[in-house]
Amino acid sequence: MKSLLLTTLLIGTAAVIASPVQVQQGPARVYRPQRYSLREGVTIANKYCTYPLQFTLTKPVNERGEVFAMNLVGKKNCNFVGGFFSLTVNGYKMSELDFTKEKITRWQDGDRSGMELKLNFDGAKFTLRLFMRPDSPVLWGSLIYDKNSIDPIRKATIDIQALPSMLKIENRKVLFSNAYTRELVTPATKYSHNNKWVNLTPADTSFIFQDGELDGSAESKGSGPCWFWIDRTNLSRSQAFVRNSWKIFLKFDLKKDCQVVNFGLWHPAARISNAEMAEKLKKEPAAFTFK
């Protein structure tokens, strides 16, 4: 499994050498490919970072139908690995939607390059654009409501989840809870363990997902934090869920008249400590600003 992830990472890395932002699309390499009826990979990379994205449609099993998933892979231990971004619109989860390869297209605008994914929530249509630019390690995103939609947005929610630093394993057993010091750091505050969803303030515009102990300062302390930013302009409500658990969750409700939501995420290519990330964000604001 690990070697597979690394191989994927290497392929993605190799692709970035030629130009500032490299986008490569092809069949995704997945564990147990026989479980999938469709598996497509898109790797977006620049000299700072690589984001191997996988789009899969799981075959029906027993009472479960096909399941669509969009994952970030290729990074050992942490961060946005897994279902980092999902969207629920008018009661329909992204995982329920239909997926075909044709729904993915390449996207480029100047030196910004990436991909677009078409999403249709029973008539409420969106385009999810994910891209990089040469000067930033961030994977930028824009969720754009399609004006030709048949249905309006009645209720739409973006779910973000991240696994900071590392997942603990003791005696060959993964520890999913009660073994962490998870923290969500925003420009305004630091959210610590709390077993309920808390409303975010307007000042909470960007988020560092980190662990107070597994701070990435040494190999034994995981790979360190990751970062997420979202433009709150078209959002009606924003919430966070931080607890003594493996993942930290964010939830953003879109306004009914929302046309676009921009966001960005960065999971560093190499280990980084909590302090180093804070310092980098402070020192290089342009690289972490949406353009």
Partner 1 sequence: MQFLKSWKTWVLPLCLFVSSAVAYDLNSPEVFPVKYQKPPAHAPLKMVVNGELNFVIAADLKAEQRMASRSKSAKSIAPAIRILSEAIEKCTGKKVQVVDVKNIPAGKNVIVVGDCSITRENGIDVFKLPNQGFAVKTFPRGIIIAGHDSSLIDGYNMKPLEQLGPRTGTRYGAYDFVERFLGVRFYFPGEYGTLTPAIKDLTITPVSYTDAPYFQTRGGIYSVISCLAPGRPRKFWEQWLGPLTNEDQRFYEKLRLGGDLPGSGGHNPRPERMAKSFPGKLKTIFYTSPGGNFWYNPKGHVGNYFNVVDLAFADLLIDSLKRYYDSNGKINEGGYACTNLTNISFGMCDTLMPDAEVFNDPIVRKLNLMTVNDMKRGANSGMANIYARFHQYLAKRIQQEWPGRKLWIMAYYNVRFAGNDPRWTLPPNTEVQLCLGDLPNKVRSPRHMKQMLKIAEEWYTSLGNRPVQKLWTYSGTSPFVLAINGEFVGDIPKKFGKYLGNTHIYFGQCCGIPGDMWFYYYSLYAAYRSEWNPNWNAAAAIDAHWEPFYGKETGKYLRQFHQLLRKCYMKYALNDDNGQSIIYPIPELRKMEELLAKAQKSVKPGSVEEKRLKLFMAPWKNAISSVRNQLSYERPVYKIRQLLPNEKVNVDGKGNEAFWAKVKPMKLLDPKGTGTPVKYPAEIKLVWDKTGIYGFTKTPYKPTFSKNRSVFLNDNFEVIFSPGMKKETVYQIAFDPLNQKFFGTQRFLPILQPFDTHWKAQGVKIAMVNKGNEWTTEFYVPFKVFDLPAPRAYQNWLCNIVRNKTGAQNEYSGTAMTLGTNRNLSMFGIIKFMGKGD
Structure tokens belonging to residue 207: 């988020």
3-state helix, strand, coil in the chain (%, to 5): 15, 45, 40
Q: Whole-number minimum distance, CB 39 to partner 1, in Å?
A: 14
Helix spans in the chain (H): 2-15, 274-283
Q: Does 92 bind partner 1 (CB under 8 A)?
A: yes
Of the candidates 46, 50, 66, 227, which one interacts with partner 1 according to CB under 8 A? Answer: 66
Nearer to partner 1 by Cβ, of 27 and 91: the residue is 91
CB atoms within 10 A of CB 60: 11
Q: Which residues have a Cβ under 8 Å from the Cβ of 14 and sit 6 or more positions away?
A: none
Q: At 282, is the secondary structure helix, strand, or coil? A: helix
Beta-bridge mates of residue 53: 42, 72
Q: Candidates 118-126, 152-160, 184-192, 255-263 — which segment interacts with partner 1 by CB under 8 A?
A: 118-126
Of the candidates 17, 65, 178, 285, which one interacts with partner 1 according to CB under 8 A? Answer: 65
Q: What is the tally of helices (H) and strands (E) in the chain? A: 2, 21
Of the candidates 109, 111, 122, 279, which one interacts with partner 1 according to CB under 8 A? Answer: 122
Nearer to partner 1 by Cβ, of 96 and 116: the residue is 96
Q: Whole-number minimum distance, CB 150 to partner 1, in Å?
A: 5
Nearer to partner 1 by Cβ, of 65 and 110: the residue is 65
Q: Whole-number minimum distance, CB 255 to partner 1, in Å?
A: 22
Cβ(188)–Cβ(202) below 8 Å: no
Q: Does 101 bind partner 1 (CB under 8 A)?
A: no
Binding residues among 19-38 for partner 1 as defined by CB under 8 A:
37
Cβ(239)–Cβ(198) below 8 Å: yes
Nearer to partner 1 by Cβ, of 94 and 162: the residue is 94
Of the candidates 4, 10, 150, 174, which one interacts with partner 1 according to CB under 8 A? Answer: 150
CA distance 57 to 100: 9
Binding residues among 188-247 for partner 1 as defined by CB under 8 A:
none
Of the candidates 111, 151, 279, 284, which one interacts with partner 1 according to CB under 8 A? Answer: 151
Nearer to partner 1 by Cβ, of 94 and 265: the residue is 94
Which of these, 5, 70, 67, lies nearest to 40 by C-alpha position? Answer: 70
Helix spans in 132-289 (H): 274-283
CA distance 192 to 183: 5
Q: At 223, is the secondary structure helix, strand, or coil? A: coil
Over its C-alpha atoms, the chain yields an Rg (Å, rounded) of 18
Q: Does 91 bind partner 1 (CB under 8 A)?
A: yes
Nearer to partner 1 by Cβ, of 68 and 227: the residue is 68
Q: Whole-number minimum distance, CB 263 to partner 1, in Å?
A: 24
Q: Whole-number minimum distance, CB 91 to partner 1, in Å?
A: 8
Question: Quick one: DSSP state of residue 201?
Answer: P
Number of residues that bind partner 1 (CB under 8 A): 21
- Which spans of this chain sit near partner 1 (rule: CB under 8 A)? 37, 59-60, 62-66, 91-92, 96-98, 120-123, 125, 149-151
